[in-house]
Chain A
Amino acid sequence: MENKHPNNPSLNRRDFLTTSAMLAGGIMLGPGLAWADQKKPKEIIVRAWGGSWGDALKAGVADGFTKATGIKVRLDFTEDNEIKPKIWAAIDQGRVPPIHVNWDTTTNATISALRGVTVDLSDLSNLKGLLPLAKPVGLKGYPLVNTYAYVYVCAYRPEAFPDGPPQSWNVMLDPKFKRRVALYDDGIGFNPISVIAGGGTFKDIPDNMEPGYEFYRKLKANKPLLGEDADFTTWFQKGEIDLACTISVNARAAKQSGIDVAWTVPKEGCKVDTDGLWIPRGLPANEEYWAKEFINFALTKEAQQKWCSMLGLPPVFPGIDPPADLVGDVSYPTKPEDFEKLIRVPSKVLVENQPKWFAKFNEIFQG
């Protein structure tokens, strides 16, 4: 029944619940959103990685956003490298991009930012107070926002290493592990490490990558497998490999699903990198608004805590405790001394040099 007495101070149950939900959403999403008059789209499409990655985004961010706003979130599992040209083509041709938010590697996101296809996120209210890691380096404003850090660890099958975790990446060259070592198929995550494992230093990157290429030439004799995130889990599961350079999330997910996998940071160190979120240009104004609010929501303490705990990665929101199984873990850097063991190559260097490194990586392993 319609309320004919708008000035009546008493609230019925439905009004109370609605107001409470709006207030709760408003608090979660930051100032402005609760009273926003932007038309809500039926759904927000977020490109994501599948498996444990997608599960974490759904439970940690998407579900909470839907609860707060009523907007459904659809995860699009198109491969990150494949969505990139689709977005670029849509923007170049004046079409609406196929997704609202891209969950991307910082390197790929930086490439899109350099191309000028990203929306500036500087006005997001939840950027304040985040760790400096959240800010993209070498770019004006916030064409993307980093959401957590991750480490390309040395994942191994403990059964194959009875004397303890591998101390050096050079163990990959041991003929004992012929055909039982795996890397990413573009060398991502290992290119800088290969320089140090090959006798070079961090200062050699990116001008003198030869020690790394020499390491790869030696590694080629051991016929490593080259694949993507999903392959590593399958290979460990099927006993195809003993050792891999992979993101700690994959190793942890494999372990959580009952596969006997452990991980370590060898003496040469591991590469640390970040992932981020960005919005493609060319969306209708209201959809861009709610896409921004999705990212704003992903930066709240609650979302960061749940999302990153499920991933097992250190978030950009300060003061969040690591999950119980990762306290003191090398793959979960929290203190400056943790980062000393890790190698971080600036995005600018990666963007400018990754194509050359990939070409050389391909030349060695495909040649």
Chain B
Amino acid sequence: MTSVKQSSHFPIKWRLLDAAERVAALVWPRQLHSYTGYLLLVPALLLVFVLVIGLIYIGGYSLHELDLANYRLKESFSLTNYYTAVTSTTYRTVVLRSLYGSFLVTVITIFLAFPYAYLMVRAREAMTRKFLLISLFLPFFIGQIVRAYGWLIILGKEGLLNNIVTFFGFSPLELIYNYPAVILGLIQYMLPFAVLLLAPAITAINRDMELASESLGAHWIQTFIHIVLPMAKPGLIGSSVVVFTLTLTDFAMPEILGGGTTDFIANSIYDGFFQLSNSGLGAALSMILVTLGTAFVVVIFSIAGTGTLGFSRRSK
């Protein structure tokens, strides 16, 4: 009773905080406090859980064939959609085109992004760094669709480049609605992602390591090959995985710059779900896409090891 009497003399704020603490202790007992850090993972785990649930549903749809009599999926299970996806020359071409495109875009983007990121990190002049950073972020404010249309304006039959070409008396060039145009659009779209993933890895390389290499007589190319590249491996792996998977799943660039004849897998999925009203086939193609993307990540990590991304336990 005494303690109650005493506590009643405490300011209201203290008493409210005490009450909040008691409620918190009920919800999250003191014995569990060592696991508090894991609690912060809950939103991420929930998000992944929702995605997995969605994927299970899609996987389920993929096992039912479309009934053209009523445009509903049949009750019976079958692998017809997978058979269609695997045996159709259309889908085989689309898958190979997507994989090859993703490979090309990844290689070219990393090749362009590395010097950009290196210069952005190592530039002595603050103005240079700011200029490179702003140039990098500016496209982020312009969506992918707008950027694709920007290419149409530049590369179109009556676009900027063709105006210059025809001004000098040459025939206009076929610069859009083909595979190279899609690859070009994707490289431009992916470049900022690659630079942003490479920059922290390059920042983590101690400048003194490069200076030490050079002071021992190494040419800058040798320093680059033997010091910078190996130490930037986590950034290279991370950006390659991100660029490859984003390209593999891209829809807008092939749709806008491809002229309708250079579809990627995502475009075929769209056609399956929306144009054909065949959610079973669309789902089967989605599962193939997820499998391909996952397989790529698994292969990369099994070759390079997850430690390249800083996931390995550090020895003391």
Contacts and interface: CB of A to CB of B under 8 A. Distances in A.
A binds B: yes
Interface of A: 79, 81-82, 84-85, 111-112, 114-116, 179, 185-186, 223-227, 238-240, 351-352, 355, 358-359, 362-363, 365-367
A223 B261 CA distance: 8
18 contacts: A79-B274, A81-B274, A85-B273, A112-B71, A114-B71, A225-B177, A225-B259, A225-B260, A352-B68, A359-B88, A359-B90, A359-B276, A362-B90, A363-B90, A365-B260, A366-B262, A366-B263, A367-B89
A355 B263 contact: no
Given A185-B260, A362-B271, A238 B156 contact: yes
Interface of B: 66, 68-72, 88-90, 93-94, 156-158, 174, 177, 259-263, 268, 271, 273-279
Given A239-B158, A362-B271, A367-B93, A115 B261 contact: no
Contact of A82 (B268, B274, B276): B274
Nearest to A352: B68
Contacts of B276: 355, 358-359
A359 B278 CA distance: 12
Contacts of B274: 79, 81-82, 84-85
A116 B271 CA distance: 22
Nearest to A365: B261
Nearest to B279: A85
Contacts of A240: 156-157, 177
A294 B164 CA distance: 53
Contact of B275 (A81, A224, A225, A352): A81
A355 B90 contact: no
Contacts of B69: 114
Contact of B259 (A111, A226, A359, A362): A226
B93 A366 contact: yes
Contacts of B259: 225-227
Contact of A366 (B261, B275, B279): B261
Nearest to A80: B274
A227 B262 CA distance: 12
B177 A179 contact: yes
Contacts of A112: 71
Contacts of A111: 71, 277
Nearest to B176: A240
Contacts of B72: 115
A280 to B, nearest CB: 14
